[in-house]
Amino acid sequence: MTSRTPAIHTPREFGSEAGIRAARAAVDAIRIRLERLESSLDASGEARERQRRALLEAIGRVPRTVDVPAPAEAARLRVVAAQPLEPGQVLAYGAAGAVPADTGNPVHAAALLGVAITRPEAGLVAVATEGQALDCETWAWTPGDVLYAAPGGGLATLPGSGQWQRRIGVALDGDRVLVLPGEPLLTPGGGRLLQLRADGRVEAAAIPYRTDRYTVTPAMLAARRVSLSDAPADPLAVELCVHHGIEQKPGVDFSISGAELSWDGLALELLLESGDSFSVRYLT
């Protein structure tokens, strides 16, 4: 419904009752108009302030405001403990619950849970599973050690001679282990995160990132697109940063099709000017 602003009529006979009513109506009309004008100015001012803040954040003049999510729970898995357990023990699931993994028991080879994070509480033990890092003050590894299940739920740098052998993780520091039971990334050819060296130790694998850099030309502005050196493996994981400090989002500010980056009709079109420079980083 369209709101209508009351018309202002100037009363002629102020001394009469009708004149007084007309004067009051005129004052009310002026007050309503002033309130609406003030409200409009407030809203316009708030919008301008939001735009100003966003621009200052973008160019690094003020800190960017972000919502920080609450930290995730340390344990992805909690299971019933069949007996007292210690932090850092490799666990398997037995008939009554979690027990120290026994390399002399072939059943435990297929029943591995992970590594105990804490002692059991209320009958449950928290377990670090695949991809979780775990600290334990009793450890003293050499960073890069590949760790295997050992008798009694222990860890060792050699596979051992029990009924089964299983890699459990990698030492990131003297007292920190990345739990990766059977993780296939630990191959001589390397992987997304880690690679196994010839001496049997682990190091960070080379990640196939490519970075393309551009300086905006009038022809580029007219075309609203550029060609990348290669097709990104994941178009939604492409990072584009204009060099005066503004990071752009794929699918919102630009789009990727094969090896072509376009900003036709998207937000980046409003930002780029001739002479600007930007970089594009992506996995191939």
Higher local confidence (pLDDT), 284 or 141: 141
6, pLDDT greater than 60: no
- Structural element, H or E, at residue 79: strand 77-80
CB atoms within 10 A of CB 141: 20
**How open is the CA angle 70-72-76, to the nearest 5 degrees?**
160
Model confidence at 242, in pLDDT bands (50, 70, 90)?
A: confident
Structure tokens at 6: 């009351």
pLDDT (0 to 100) of residue 56: 52
Could you read off the pLDDT of 17-26 as tens digits, one per residue?
Answer: 666 666 677 6
Model confidence at 70, in pLDDT bands (50, 70, 90)?
A: very low
264, pLDDT greater than 80: yes
Lowest mean pLDDT among 6-20, 78-92, 263-277: 6-20
Model confidence at 10, in pLDDT bands (50, 70, 90)?
A: very low
pLDDT (0 to 100) of residue 219: 93
Could you read off the pLDDT of 192-213 as tens digits, one per residue?
Answer: 456 666 676 666 655 566 888 8
225, pLDDT greater than 90: yes
Gap between the Cα atoms of 154 and 156, Å rounded = 7
Q: Is 245 helix (H, G, I), strand (E, B) or coil?
A: coil
Gap between the Cα atoms of 99 and 85, Å rounded = 7
Name the residue among 4, 23, 5, 28 with its Cα closest to residue 13.
Answer: 23
Lowest mean pLDDT among 51-55, 135-139, 215-219: 51-55
183, pLDDT greater than 90: no
Is residue 152 within 8 Å of residue 131, measured between CB atoms? no
Gap between the Cα atoms of 187 and 114, Å rounded = 21
Q: What is the pTM of this model?
A: 0.44
pLDDT (0 to 100) of residue 216: 92
Gap between the Cα atoms of 89 and 85, Å rounded = 7
Could you read off the pLDDT of 97-115 as tens digits, one per residue?
Answer: 999 999 888 888 888 898 9
Measured CA distances, 266 to 12, 246, 248 (Å): 59, 15, 11
